[in-house]
């Protein structure tokens, strides 16, 4: 902890840090690449929609000695449709038969029970009409749309429209990536997946909102100083909430990992597994996007404001002026922080920030003079 | 957190706001002497009260959904009948639910649950141990509503109730209430009868100011002639004589009529198993037997062929009769063919005597009402009056409407979960939750050390609140814990823990600025509070939208997520913050013990500010 705590402290003080905003182009590029891959995956491979969306029956049997291939034959004979059979961790079988309608499926179940030599009442049956999955999906899209509109309105009021836009972009980004991964890997999409996906909405934004909250707080009186540009402050916001972001993501992922382990490892397949899988993918994407996409995007949008442009000009002018005088100090500070953070990409900013606290007193005066 | 370089000086502009926050700190910390204790007491009392309520109500575990307890869950989706595009609305859906509820619970299973979900779905949850096939068949078919003339009826079951019902109703007309009357209450009908009955029924109805043509009386009319009384008394032992004539008169072959009579004689409607089969599969064109409940007494009926089909009812509604102060009544309107048929049957019935002047409203082979006819009703509008309560009238109107309900239902999904799998899934969910919780606790302990005591305690409070509330919501709003809801709760562990992380990180930031713990705790709170509220709001918004918009399993998930998000706010405000305030006074935390998770040195705090009262020197010696 002490190491992490130290990094936390140094992140907090800005001694170390990664220039998220400065390197945003790289991350935008990576995200666009991932997104394009995801969209391509969706377009080419498509989603592997589960039985729940096509209509059909999913039968789960208790432990049985019948082999998978044998069960497949039985199921096909009984139903007249193609059946997919999986062996579960419990020793039972999961038999999926597409295209059986809900009326006929009882008969199929009884026949199968006889063939597999298990009691009909011991077989779990999930019979889904073809329109039900569609209805769930439609409703989910509807919910998604309503939620997005509400969230944009809310964020625009609580923060500002730029942040709302950035949050929305991050959200769409997360969902595209998650569905893209589903398409590429070929995971089956079930109502459980949809649930997981919808939860990502809340979570992804939750993460983004925390960073934005810190950003809003730190940029409150930004135009009244000339030391930092908006991007600098945005960058520091990300860095100072980085520990929290990591902690939150870890803490959120741990229970989900537990679910995934139990759902996938012990139960075989099922709703627990489906929910946790999409959550796992989505949470990771959400943590990434709130740090690498949402905040730099806000900075980008903000820097287009005339006010911020003017500020940037003033800050740059001042830096150029101070550069000569502070070069020595900056160089020294660089050495100090460089060891802790070799990948730091913005030495100038870091160098200034890492100066001793007493420097802050000097800071008030010049800006005061300017005003 | 903000500009670190400016912070210590306290002179920078942006800091001013925080200085403001810090300024009333003294007053605040004085107030905090009593406040944290009070908040803690409040939430502990709330937990105690809720737990007490939970034990008092006897529901100490959350109700389990079908997927965890085992059973069958059927989702029915309403489909518009051709030419009726706007039939799917709340009223129609509610009516359908009511009807289905009657049907499945008529099977003798009171546990079966029928609810609407979304705007066009009905969920039927049949617990395990019930004949799910039969239940499925019940909800799967369309309800049949018929109007059939009554040929004969009797109180069913014990002979004792037959005899008394006969004698008073013939004699005084006081209508002791034992005489069979329809779904409207028997006693009340008795009174109504007494007024209208002793005189000629038609006249009394007229004197009540109702249009004669529209007058129907719900309930068994007690002004029955001796004939009906004898029919009643004789019905039990040998019902063939009086009843046999009627069915044959209505065209049924004699032997069929005889069989039906035997069936009728043998029928005992007080027995559920007989009720369930009585009159099943009766053809509309033939006479049949049926059961019906009058008040608390079951009555058996011998009924003629269907006179009017329920689909010929255009509309039925309950209305309060202000004109004659006759109370609640049910008004119905027939379509053109219905009007004609109804006119035919009522003109026939009006000439007869009780009970043969009655027609039975038969829903799914059960008589729900059997009003008698005073005069032929030709206009297509009819009123059924009696001493209905508003609820009775409403319910009867709903049933009548159902015949005209332009909806059919399609099975969208049927899930059957065996008890074994249900238990397995529940166990898996609990184990996953335990693992998740354990991992989170371990992480918190490793990272936050002493502070994790607060976090873990808060998580426990949150968990116990969630559990108790879920248990209490079972009986109150029919909340059932299903697998997605369990997932929601597990996911919520993360959201709840995050609130603590936000707060703790803020506190640590303040300590890094060089503050001692107590001011740090107070200063960090307003900012952490805002972050927590904003982010929890977003999370809650997602849950609320999902809950309202979506259908099926998503809803259970959204509900738990929303509930736990709300509880998170409650716990952070009333438990975590006060607890931290209290603990900040303890030496272990305040001195920044190396295991407290608040050790300034480990956090990399700056040299203490001048306002720091507690010298940090001893801490450092301890460290060394």
Calculate how close chain A gets to B501, using CA atoms only, in Å. Answer: 7
B122 touching A (Cβ < 8 Å): no
Among A196-200, B255-259, B436-440, B600-604, name the most confident range. B436-440
Give A104's contacts in chain B (Cβ within 8 Å): none
SS3 call for A158: helix
**Domain boundaries, position A121:** 56-128
CA diameter of chain A? 91
Q: Which element (helix H / strand E) includes B361?
A: strand B359-363
Q: Could you tell me if residue A290 is inside a domain?
A: yes
* Same-domain pairing of A15 and A150: yes
* Contact status, residue B599 vs residue A8, Cβ threshold 8 Å: no
* Same-domain pairing of A178 and A220: yes
Each residue of B340-354: pLDDT tens digit?
Answer: 888 888 888 888 777
The arrangement of strands across the sheet holding B372-373 comes to B313-321, B327-334, B381-388, B215-217, B372-373
Among residues B62, B473, B8, B529, the alpha carbon closest in space to that of A363 is found at B8
Give B413's contacts in chain A (Cβ within 8 Å): 52, 102, 126-129, 132
* Same-domain pairing of A209 and A292: yes
Q: Which residue is closest to A126 within chain B, CA to CA?
A: B415
B446 touching A (Cβ < 8 Å): yes
Q: pLDDT band for position B324 (50/70/90)?
A: low
Q: Among A33-47, A68-82, B585-599, name the one with the lowest average pLDDT.
A: B585-599
Q: Could you tell me if residue A79 is inside a domain?
A: yes
In the structure encoding, which two tokens stand for residue A272, read together? 């627990």
Instruction: List, as ranges, residues 554-613 from B with C-beta within 8 Å of A.
Output: 554, 557-558, 561, 602-606
* Same-domain pairing of A9 and A70: no
Query: Which residue among B443, B449, B558 sits closest to A250, beta carbon to beta carbon?
Result: B443
Q: Could you tell me if residue A317 is inside a domain?
A: no
CA distances from B20 to A222, B16, B574, B584 (A): 19, 6, 24, 22
The model's pTM: 0.65
Q: Could you tell me if residue A148 is inside a domain?
A: yes
Among residues B205, B237, B74, the alpha carbon closest in space to that of B140 is found at B74
CATH code at position A111: 3.30.70.3400
Among residues A86, A70, A87, A67, the alpha carbon closest in space to that of A78 is found at A70
Query: Which residue among A139, A248, A262 sits closest to B118, beta carbon to beta carbon?
Result: A139
Reply yes or no on whether the pLDDT at B177 is more than 70. Answer: no
B14 touching A (Cβ < 8 Å): yes
Give A60's contacts in chain B (Cβ within 8 Å): 421
Q: pLDDT band for position B107 (50/70/90)?
A: low
Each residue of B199-242: pLDDT tens digit?
Answer: 333 333 333 333 333 445 444 333 333 333 333 333 333 333 33
DSSP-derived secondary structure for B500-513: HHHHHHHHHHHHHT
* Same-domain pairing of A169 and A28: yes
* Contact status, residue A19 vs residue A292, Cβ threshold 8 Å: no
Reply yes or no on whether the pLDDT at B612 is more than 80. Answer: no
Q: Could you tell me if residue A363 is inside a domain?
A: no
Q: Could you tell me if residue A82 is inside a domain?
A: yes
Structure confidence at residue A354 (pLDDT): 42
* Same-domain pairing of A43 and A79: no
In the structure encoding, which two tokens stand for residue A190, read together? 């079930």
Task: Round to whole Å and give the CA distance between A321 and A327.
Answer: 11
Contact at CB, B495 and A158, closer than 8 angstroms? no
Count structural domains, chain A. Answer: 2
* Same-domain pairing of A171 and A297: yes
In the structure encoding, which two tokens stand for residue B42, read together? 């409040």
Average pLDDT over residues A8-35: 77
Q: Which residue is closest to A56 within chain B, CA to CA?
A: B413
* Contact status, residue B433 vs residue B489, Cβ threshold 8 Å: yes
* Same-domain pairing of A99 and A145: no
* Contact status, residue B447 vs residue A4, Cβ threshold 8 Å: yes
Give all strands (DSSP E) within B439-518, no chain letters: none
Query: Which residue among A195, A259, A363 sits closest to B557, beta carbon to beta carbon?
Result: A195
* Same-domain pairing of A152 and A300: yes
* Same-domain pairing of A75 and A39: no
Among residues A110, A128, A146, the one where a domain terminates is A128
Phi, psi of B34 (to 5 degrees): -100, -30
Contacts of A171 (CB under 8 A, 6+ apart): A148, A151, A201, A204, A205, A208, A289
Each residue of B455-482: pLDDT tens digit?
Answer: 889 988 998 898 898 888 877 777 788 8
**What is the share, in percent, of chain A residues with pLDDT greater than 90?**
0
* Contact status, residue A179 vs residue A42, Cβ threshold 8 Å: yes
Q: Among A155-169, B227-241, B448-462, B505-519, name the one with the lowest average pLDDT.
A: B227-241
Q: Could you tell me if residue A75 is inside a domain?
A: yes
Calculate how close chain A gets to B284, using CA atoms only, in Å. Answer: 26
Give all strands (DSSP E) within B264-358, no chain letters: 288-294, 297-303, 308-309, 313-321, 327-334
Among residues A107, A128, A149, the one where a domain terminates is A128
Task: Round to whole Å and give the CA distance between B257 and B335.
Answer: 32
Query: Which residue among B9, B432, B541 sits closest to A259, beta carbon to beta carbon?
Result: B432
Structure confidence at residue B162 (pLDDT): 37
Q: Could you tell me if residue A160 is inside a domain?
A: yes
Among residues B117, B125, B122, B123, the alpha carbon closest in space to that of B549 is found at B117
Instruction: List, as ranges, residues 261-290 from B with C-beta within 8 Å of A.
Output: none
Adjacent-strand bridge partners of B75? B123, B413
Among residues A279, A304, A329, the one where a domain terminates is A304
Among residues A369, B487, B411, the alpha carbon closest in space to that of B495 is found at B487
Phi, psi of B142 (to 5 degrees): -80, 145
Reply yes or no on whether the pLDDT at B7 is more than 60. Answer: no
Query: Which residue among A105, A143, A210 sits closest to B550, beta carbon to beta carbon?
Result: A143
Phi, psi of A126 (to 5 degrees): -125, 105
CATH code at position A188: 1.20.1640.10
Cβ-count burial A36-74 (b if 16+ within 10 Å, e if not): ebbeebbeeeebeebbbbebbbbbbbbebebeeeebbeb
Q: How many CB atoms lie within 10 A of CB A221?
A: 14
Contacts of B535 (CB under 8 A, 6+ apart): A206, A209, A210, A213, B498, B502
SS3 call for A177: helix
Q: Which residue is closest to B441 within chain A, CA to CA?
A: A251
* Same-domain pairing of A116 and A137: no
What is the Cα gyration radius of chain A? 27
* Same-domain pairing of A37 and A87: no
């Amino acid at each position: 902890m002490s190491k992490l705590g130290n990094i936390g402290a140094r992140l907090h003080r800005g001694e170390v840090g990664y220039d998220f905003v400065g390197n945003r182009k790289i991350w935008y590029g990576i995200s666009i690449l991932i997104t394009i891959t995801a969209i391509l995956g969706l377009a080419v491979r498509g989603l592997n929609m589960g039985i729940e969306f096509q209509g059909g029956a999913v039968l789960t049997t208790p432990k049985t000695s019948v082999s998978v291939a044998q069960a497949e034959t039985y199921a096909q004979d009984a139903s007249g449709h193609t059946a997919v059979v999986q062996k579960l961790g419990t020793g039972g079988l999961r038999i999926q038969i597409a295209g059986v309608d809900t009326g006929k499926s009882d008969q199929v179940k009884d026949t199968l029970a006889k063939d597999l030599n298990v009691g009909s009442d011991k077989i779990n049956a999930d019979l889904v009409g073809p329109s039900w999955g569609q209805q769930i999906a439609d409703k989910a899209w509807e919910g998604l749309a309503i939620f997005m509109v509400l969230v944009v309105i809310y964020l625009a009021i609580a923060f500002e429209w730029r942040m709302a836009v950035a949050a929305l972009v991050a959200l769409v980004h997360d969902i595209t990536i998650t569905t893209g991964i589903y398409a590429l890997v070929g995971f089956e999409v079930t109502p459980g997946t949809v649930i997981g996906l919808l939860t990502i909405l809340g979570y992804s934004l939750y993460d983004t909102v925390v960073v934005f909250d810190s950003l809003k707080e730190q940029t409150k009186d930004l135009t009244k100083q000339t030391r930092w540009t908006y991007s600098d402050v945005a960058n520091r916001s990300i860095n100072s909430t980085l520990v929290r972001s990591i902690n939150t993501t870890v803490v959120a992922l741990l229970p989900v990992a537990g679910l995934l382990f139990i759902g996938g490892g012990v139960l075989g397949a099922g709703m627990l597994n489906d929910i946790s899988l999409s959550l796992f993918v989505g949470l990771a994407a959400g943590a990434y996007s709130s740090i690498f996409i949402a905040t730099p995007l806000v900075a980008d949008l903000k820097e287009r404001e005339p006010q911020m442009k003017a500020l940037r000009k003033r800050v740059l002018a001042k830096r150029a002026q101070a550069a000569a005088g502070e070069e020595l100090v900056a160089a020294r500070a660089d050495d100090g922080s460089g060891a802790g953070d070799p990948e730091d990409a913005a030495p100038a900013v870091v160098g200034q920030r890492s100066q001793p606290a007493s420097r802050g007193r000097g800071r008030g005066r010049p800006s005061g003079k300017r005003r | 957190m903000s500009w670190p370089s400016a912070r210590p000086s306290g002179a920078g502009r942006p800091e001013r706001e925080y200085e403001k926050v810090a300024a009333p700190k003294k007053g605040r910390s004085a107030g905090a002497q009593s406040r944290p204790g009070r908040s803690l007491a409040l939430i502990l009392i709330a937990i105690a009260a809720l737990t007490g309520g939970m034990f008092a109500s006897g529901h100490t575990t959350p109700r389990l959904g079908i997927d965890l307890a085992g059973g069958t869950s059927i989702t029915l989706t309403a489909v518009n009948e051709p030419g009726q595009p706007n039939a799917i609305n709340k009223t129609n859906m509610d009516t359908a639910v009511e009807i289905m509820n009657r049907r499945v619970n008529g099977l003798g299973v009171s546990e079966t649950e029928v609810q609407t979900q979304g705007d066009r779905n009905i969920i039927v949850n049949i617990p395990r141990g019930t004949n799910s096939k039969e239940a499925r068949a019940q909800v799967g078919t369309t309800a049949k509503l018929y109007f059939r003339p009554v040929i004969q009826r009797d109180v069913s079951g014990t002979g004792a109730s037959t005899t008394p019902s006969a004698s008073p109703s013939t004699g005084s007309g006081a209508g002791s209430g034992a005489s069979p009357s329809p779904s409207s209450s028997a006693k009340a009908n008795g009174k109504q009868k007494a007024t209208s009955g002793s005189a000629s029924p038609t006249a009394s109805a007229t004197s009540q100011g109702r249009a004669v043509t529209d007058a129907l009386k719900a309930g068994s009319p007690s002004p029955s002639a001796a004939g009906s009384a004898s029919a009643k008394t004789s019905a039990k032992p040998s019902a063939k004589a009086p009843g046999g004539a009627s069915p044959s008169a209505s065209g049924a072959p004699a032997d069929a009529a005889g069989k039906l009579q035997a069936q009728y004689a043998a029928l005992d409607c007080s027995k559920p198993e007989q009720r369930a089969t009585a009159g099943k599969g009766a053809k509309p064109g033939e006479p049949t037997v049926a059961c019906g409940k009058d008040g608390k007494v079951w009555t058996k009926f011998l009924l003629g062929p269907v006179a009017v089909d329920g689909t010929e009812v255009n509309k039925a509604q309950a209305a309060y009769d202000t004109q004659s102060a006759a109370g609640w009544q049910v008004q119905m309107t027939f379509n053109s063919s219905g009007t004609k048929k109804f006119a035919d049957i009522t003109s026939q019935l009006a000439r007869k005597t009780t009970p043969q002047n009655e027609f039975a409203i038969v829903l799914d082979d059960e008589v729900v009402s059997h009003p008698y006819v005073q005069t032929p009703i030709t206009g297509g509008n009819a009123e059924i009056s009696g001493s209905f309560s508003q609820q009775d009238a409403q319910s009867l109107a709903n049933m009548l409407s159902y015949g005209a309900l332009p909806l059919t239902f399609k099975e969208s999904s049927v899930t059957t979960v065996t008890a074994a799998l249900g238990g397995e899934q529940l166990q898996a969910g609990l184990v996953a939750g335990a693992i998740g919780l354990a991992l989170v606790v371990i992480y918190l302990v490793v990272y936050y050390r002493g502070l994790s005591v607060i976090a873990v305690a808060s998580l426990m409070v949150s968990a116990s609140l969630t559990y108790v509330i879920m248990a209490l919501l079972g009986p109150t709003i029919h909340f059932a814990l299903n697998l997605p809801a369990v997932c929601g709760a597990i996911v919520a562990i993360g959201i709840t823990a995050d609130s603590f992380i936000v707060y703790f990180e803020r506190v640590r930031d303040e300590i890094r600025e060089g503050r001692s713990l107590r001011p740090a705790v107070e200063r960090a709170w307003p900012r952490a509070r805002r972050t927590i509220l904003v982010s929890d709001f977003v999370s809650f918004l997602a849950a609320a939208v999902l809950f309202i918009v979506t259908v099926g399993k998503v809803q259970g998930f959204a509900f738990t997520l929303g509930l736990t998000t709300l509880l998170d706010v409650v716990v952070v405000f009333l438990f975590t913050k006060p607890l931290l305030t209290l603990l900040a006074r303890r030496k272990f935390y305040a001195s920044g013990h190396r295991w407290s998770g608040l050790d300034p040195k480990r956090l990399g705090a700056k040299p203490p500010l001048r306002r720091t009262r507690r010298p940090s020197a001893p801490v450092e010696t301890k460290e060394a």
